[in-house]
Amino acid sequence: MDVELPTTIKELKAFAHAVNKAKYSDLPEYAVPTPVMSDSNTNALTKAVIYDMANVRKGIAYRINNGGVYDQKRGAYRKGVTRKGIPDIIGIIKGRFFGIEIKFGKDRQSAEQRIIQLEIEKVGGVYMIVKTYRGYVEAMNEISRGNR
């Protein structure tokens, strides 16, 4: 039996709850944890996409922290150790590499991110810019239809 893939945050939340219900089958319904799912900010959207890649699409996904780290002793940010432009999320689904850049609000792709995009696509990987969960789902549907 095929399971309908979530297409909205609400459906993703219901999917996650069903996973937890099976995982904690010995608990009464009211005690089963319901994960918080949202795409109302950058961190929430990142978590939703990672959850989808790992649990819905049965792949792997990792968040890459590209930002500097605040050093309290120096009272300043230390430069990050990853190459500028690396996507926020990297993952693999069915053997295919995905680089996903999360953008929220007026945030735009940088020149370094564009270079990384071209490098990933040149070797057959998928690069996408995601602004909403629904946009992510639509892009994944296009990929599964072979349109990307």
Task: Answer yes or no: is pLDDT of 13 > 80.
Answer: yes
The tokens for 94 are 């069915």
Mean residue pLDDT of the chain comes to 92
Q: Residue 2 falls within a domain, yes or no?
A: no
Q: Residue 130 falls within a domain, yes or no?
A: yes
Cβ burial of 83 (10 Å; 0-12, 13-18, 19+) is exposed
Range of the domain at 13: 9-144
- Residue-wise pLDDT tens digits, 22-43: 999 999 999 999 889 999 999 9
Residues 6+ apart with CB under 8 A from 24: 31, 32, 33
Q: Residue 1 falls within a domain, yes or no?
A: no
Q: Are the beta carbons of 98 and 53 closer than 8 angstroms?
A: yes
pLDDT of 1 reads 39
Q: Are the beta carbons of 101 and 109 closer than 8 angstroms?
A: yes
Q: CATH no. for residue 102?
A: 3.40.1350.10
- Residue-wise pLDDT tens digits, 82-115: 889 999 999 999 999 999 999 999 999 999 999 9
| H helices, E strands: number in the chain | 4, 6
- Residue-wise pLDDT tens digits, 39-91: 999 999 999 999 999 999 999 999 998 777 788 888 888 877 788 999 999 99
How many domains, in total, are found in the chain? 1
Which SS3 state, helix, strand or coil, does residue 139 take? Answer: helix
Q: Residue 47 falls within a domain, yes or no?
A: yes
Rg of the chain on CA atoms, in Å: 17
pTM over 0.95: no
- Rounded CA-CA distance 126/142 in Å is 12
Q: Are the beta carbons of 38 and 48 closer than 8 angstroms?
A: yes
- Rounded CA-CA distance 124/118 in Å is 10
Q: Residue 4 falls within a domain, yes or no?
A: no
Q: Are the beta carbons of 88 and 46 closer than 8 angstroms?
A: yes
Q: Residue 61 falls within a domain, yes or no?
A: yes
Q: Residue 3 falls within a domain, yes or no?
A: no
